[in-house]
Amino acid sequence: MSKKIITPVASLAHILPEDYRDLVDRGPHGKSVGIKDLGSFKEITEEHPHCAGCGVSLGVRLALAALPAPEDTLVVGTPGCSFFALSQTALNYSNTAFGNQNSVASGLKRMLSIRYPDKDKDVVVMAGDGGIADIGLDMTLHSWFRGEKISTIMLDNEVYGNTGGQESGMSPEGQVLHMAPKGKNFKKIPVFEMARTAGCVYGAKVTIASPKRLGMAVNRAILLARELGPTYIQIYTPCPTNMKFSPADTLRIAKEAGRAHYAFEEFMTEEAAGRIAAMEGGQEVQED
Amino acid sequence: MCSEKQKNRDTVAELLHGLRNKAFITGSEAVAEAVKRANVDMAIAYPITPQSESMHLVGELFAKGYIRDYYRAENEFAVMAAVHGAALGGGRVFTATSGPGTLRAMEMFPVWAGARQPIVCAFMCRGVSLPPSIQPENIEMGMLLDTGMLMLHAENGQDFFDMILQAYLIAEQPDVHLPVGVFADGFFVTHTREEMLLPPEDCCLPPYDPGFAPVPVFDMETPPMRITRDPLLNKSNFISGSANASWHQEVLAAAERARKHIAHFMGGLLEVENPGAKIFIAASGTAVSQSREALRMMQAEGMDAGLIKIKSIRPFPASELSKALEAADLVVVPEFNAGGWLAREIRASIDRNHRVIGAPRVFGGMTMPPWLIVEEVKKALGAGQNRGGC
């Protein structure tokens, strides 16, 4: 998208809402801004109705700030907590039936490749653990088997948040939750490992407490998906409302997870590693 | 492939009213012949009997360059979701399914309508479990009546061919922009060969132009950008409830606006044979063909009988039926399903609806011999005489 498309004619600019004018004047379109620049540009996320201390809302905010080309990014989601922030975002966002996101994204990406053969249109799936790992797992995996050139980002709060705190396939073993009154009796579904086996060319596991790594992973995933094939990122986005911790403790919980079951991890094919080296010149990303 | 060969031609008029050549083909082949001329950008397939052959042939069209992208997806829900994604991206799409596949994909059909997508899907109707049956039966149509999609019911292979092309023309009208299901009774239509008339191969629909869509295209080129593409109204308050309701009303209104386009491209929502008759058979799909034979038998016996072929199930020709049946004493509605959805629709559309006899109904692989229809007519007339008029 050219910025001209959203730029209002000067004589009518004053009737547009302030946040829209702000987006045109100070938005990220066509600029090389990312998570490190947060606070210095108008973000494409707007106000949202997530709970206080919501990990998902921070995950969405960080991932969107890290998009390499927000002006040509289309996000496909699924019903669940993530849509509250995503539906109030200055990019095309769609969610329809629960779990169908990777199929919708497959059709969308292919059609945009037909209609815009000379342009990169980044199709990104952003959805929760229930949508990706439970009800939509077959469609997640098949999009990877087929080698669809899309990025899949799981916002993993390890619970069905929006429906009130039920067990998800990504909940930790033993956790007592609604619909698991005696505790979950099987392990977290190994979607990250399955992504590698199913054909993703790049994968990363990261928490919202590591914004720089998160930004790096999102950037890599989207750029690699343009050329090479499917990519996957799993972001730990803890839920104070359903996991019953104080909203002020979200980052502490995420940091602790980052030292335990959610340690930063990446995989990539040799070809992907070569592209990353060429794109980044071998720069290491470290959290402060 | 299509658009290069047909510059400066009114191909819509040629397709609908131009010279045609004879072909002796199956209904499945007729589907492929229609798709070949429909300038389809993308088709997505998943096998199920009796649909499979048509989507094999559509795949061959892709291999020959008639379609720009095509793949076999993992199940019908995934197919209908991917077709939705492709339509979001602003192109013309096609898919097809049957019976259990229709039910598996069910959640996506109201999504297509709600997202105002002119998707054309062929349904080769068959039985649904339990008990399992792959035989011709159209109970799935009764389950789709209120999904918001338009529904056309083909009597034979010629109808199937014509209706697929007509479906795109109707679906893509800016004041309609809704999905259209084109239904045919499996096997009877898909697997039998009949003589059909086809327009020349180099005559195709003009390409789909998403610029005429009544909703913004999902391509990050069409403002406004700050939108939820779908009518997501998840909050429980009066404003969002009202907004959701008005969106639904607009989907229904768009289907109503389709009536004039159906009349224009298809010559009406129904066809009446022997108007003014006292006894009518009203049917859709292959039950119409069986009814034609039954009608011939009744007329040979001197009965004052007529036939109504209902082509459009959604929108439903309620006022046309009411008018056509004004002077009728008896309306017999033969159906290939156990539920009797067509008889219900007709009963809900006309006055003095005790005149409607919902029979015969065959299903699970039974055939519908014409004498069965004649017998129902005679039975109803006899019962009518016993109770002093019907």
Tell me if B225 and A6 make a contact (CB, 8 A cut-off). yes
Smallest Cα distance from B242 to chain A, Å: 19
**pLDDT one-digit tens code per residue, B14-67:** 999 999 999 999 999 999 999 999 999 999 999 999 999 999 999 999 999 999
Residue B285 sits in the same domain as residue B153: no
Residue B19 sits in the same domain as residue B142: yes
In a domain, A32, yes or no: no
**pLDDT one-digit tens code per residue, A143-196:** 999 999 999 999 999 999 999 999 999 999 999 999 999 999 999 999 999 999
In a domain, B88, yes or no: yes
pLDDT band at B1 (very low <50, low <70, confident <90, very high): low
In a domain, B251, yes or no: no
Smallest Cα distance from B27 to chain A, Å: 27
pLDDT band at B389 (very low <50, low <70, confident <90, very high): very low
Residue ending a domain, among B211, B246, B278, is B211
Number of structural domains found in chain B: 2
In a domain, A13, yes or no: no
Q: Once rounded to an integer, what is the mean pLDDT over residues B107-122?
A: 97
Comparing CB atoms, the residue among B86, B229, B234 nearest residue A94 is: B229
Of the candidate ranges A36-45, A137-146, A245-254, B83-92, the one whose mean pLDDT is the lowest: A36-45
Residue B281 sits in the same domain as residue B142: no
Residue B171 sits in the same domain as residue B288: no
* Cβ count within 10 A of residue B3: 12
Containing domain of residue A113, as a range? 51-280
* Dihedral of the alpha carbons of A240, A242, A243, A245, in degrees to the nearest 10: 40
In a domain, B13, yes or no: yes
* CATH number for the domain that contains residue B285: 3.40.50.920
- Name which of A111, A113, A75, A110 is nearest A95 in CA terms: A75
* CATH number for the domain that contains residue A87: 3.40.50.970
pLDDT, residue B318, reads: 98
Mean of all residue pLDDT scores within chain A: 95
pLDDT band at A18 (very low <50, low <70, confident <90, very high): confident
Residue B42 sits in the same domain as residue B133: yes
Smallest Cα distance from A129 to chain B, Å: 18
Containing domain of residue B376, as a range? 270-385
pLDDT band at B180 (very low <50, low <70, confident <90, very high): very high
In a domain, B221, yes or no: no
**Contacting residues for A232 by C-beta, under 8 A, at least 6 apart:** A144, A151, A152, A153, A154, A191, A192, A195, A200, A202, A203, A204, A221
pLDDT band at B234 (very low <50, low <70, confident <90, very high): low
Is the whole model's pTM more than 0.80, yes or no?
yes
Comparing CB atoms, the residue among A84, A96, A110 nearest residue B42 is: A110
Report ipTM (2 d.p.). Answer: 0.95
| Chain B residues close to A110, C-beta within 8 Å | 42, 69, 71, 86, 89
* CATH number for the domain that contains residue B184: 3.40.50.970
Q: Is the pLDDT of residue B4 over 90?
A: no
Q: Is the pLDDT of residue B158 over 90?
A: yes
pLDDT, residue B3, reads: 55
Rounded distance, CA A104 to CA B44, Å?
Answer: 12
Mean of all residue pLDDT scores within chain B: 93
Q: Once rounded to an integer, what is the mean pLDDT over residues B95-110?
A: 98
Interface residue ranges in chain B relative to chain A, Cβ cutoff 8 Å: 41-42, 44, 68-69, 71, 73-75, 77-79, 81-91, 93, 107-108, 111, 115, 218-223, 225-230, 232, 234-235
**Residue B341 carries which side chain, given as an amino acid letter?**
W
* Cβ count within 10 A of residue A42: 19
pLDDT, residue A30, reads: 85
pLDDT, residue B390, reads: 39
Number of structural domains found in chain A: 1
pLDDT, residue B332, reads: 98
Residue ending a domain, among B211, B240, B255, is B211
